[in-house]
Amino acid sequence: MRLGRSLAIGVALGLGWMGPAAAEIYRFQILQLNDVYEITPVQGGRSGGLARVATLLKQLKAENPQTWSMLAGDYLSPSALGTAKVNGDRLAGQQMVAVLNAMGLDLATFGNHEFDISEAQLRQRLQEQKFALVTGNVLDAQGRLFPNTQTDYQFQVQATDCQKPVCPPLKVSVLGVTIDSNQAPYVRYGDPLKTLQQQIQQRQSNTDLFIGLTHLNLSQDQQLARSLPALDLILGGHEHENIQQWVGDDFTPIFKADANARTVYVHRLTYDSDRRDLQISSQLVPITPVIPEDPTTAAVVQTWLEKGFTGFRAQGFDPSAIVGRTTEPLDGLESSVRNESTALTRLIAKSYLRAVPTAELAIYNSGAIRIDDVLPSGPISQYDVIRMLPFGGAIASVEMRGELLQRVLEQGLKNRGSGGFLQTDGVQRSDRGWQIQGQPLRPDRWYRVAIADYLLTGQEKGLGFLTEQNPGLRSLQRGQDVRFAVIAQLQAQR
pLDDT attached to residue 165: 86
Distance (Å, rounded) from C-alpha 176 to C-alpha 77? 19
Rounded average pLDDT over 266-295:
97
Question: Tell me, what amino acid is at 64?
Answer: N
Give per-residue pLDDT as tens, 5-56: 533 433 333 323 344 444 699 999 999 999 999 999 999 999 999 999 999 9
Bin 170: left if φ > 0, else alpha if -120 < ψ < 50, else beta: beta
Give per-residue pLDDT as tens, 415-448: 999 999 999 999 999 888 999 999 999 999 999 9
Rounded average pLDDT over 131-152:
98
Kindly tell me if the per-residue pLDDT of 203 is higher than 70: yes
Kindly tell me if the per-residue pLDDT of 247 is higher than 90: yes
Give per-residue pLDDT as tens, 78-99: 999 999 999 999 999 999 999 9
pLDDT attached to residue 168: 95
pLDDT band, residue 163 (cuts 50/70/90): confident
pLDDT attached to residue 11: 35
Kindly tell me if the per-residue pLDDT of 267 is higher than 90: yes
State the average pLDDT for the chain.
Answer: 94
The torsion angles phi and psi of 367, rounded to 5 degrees, stand at -65, -15
Q: Percent of the chain at pLDDT above 90?
A: 92
- Taking the complete model, does pTM exceed 0.85, yes or no? yes
pLDDT attached to residue 6: 39
Query: Quick one: which of 241, 202, 205, 243 has its CA closest to 221?
Result: 243
Kindly tell me if the per-residue pLDDT of 120 is higher than 90: yes
E strands along 101-208, which residues?
A: 107-108, 132-133, 138-140, 153-157, 161-162, 170-178, 187-189
pLDDT attached to residue 321: 97
| H or E element in which residue 449 lies | strand 446-452
Cβ–Cβ < 8 Å for 163, 23:
yes
SS3 state of residue 303: helix
Distance (Å, rounded) from C-alpha 408 to C-alpha 464? 10
Q: Which domains does the chain have, with CATH numbers?
A: 7-286 (3.60.21.10), 316-492 (3.90.780.10)
Q: How many whole angstroms from its chain centre is CA 142?
A: 27
pLDDT attached to residue 292: 98
Distance (Å, rounded) from C-alpha 434 to C-alpha 441? 6
* CB-count burial class (<10 Å; 0-12, 13-18, 19+) for 231: buried
